[in-house]
Amino acid sequence: MNLMRYDLDATDLLCPLPVLKARKRLQPLSAGDLLEMRANDPAAIVDVPHFCAEAGHALVETREDGDVQVYVIRKGG
CATH code, domain carrying 37 = 3.30.110.40
- pLDDT score for 42: 96
**Domains held by the chain: number:** 1
Name the band, by pLDDT with cuts 50, 70 and 90, for residue 1: low
Q: How far apart are CA 31 and CA 68, in angstroms?
A: 26
Residue 3 to residues 6, 70, 72, 77, Cα–Cα distance (Å): 10, 20, 14, 13
Report pLDDT digits (tens) over 11-56: 999 999 999 999 999 999 999 999 999 999 999 999 999 999 999 9
Q: How far apart are CA 66 and CA 55, in angstroms?
A: 28
**What does pTM read for this prediction?**
0.95
Domain span including residue 19: 5-74
Q: What is the dihedral of CA 37, 12, 24, 38, to 10 degrees?
A: 0
Give the catalytic positions in this structure. 15
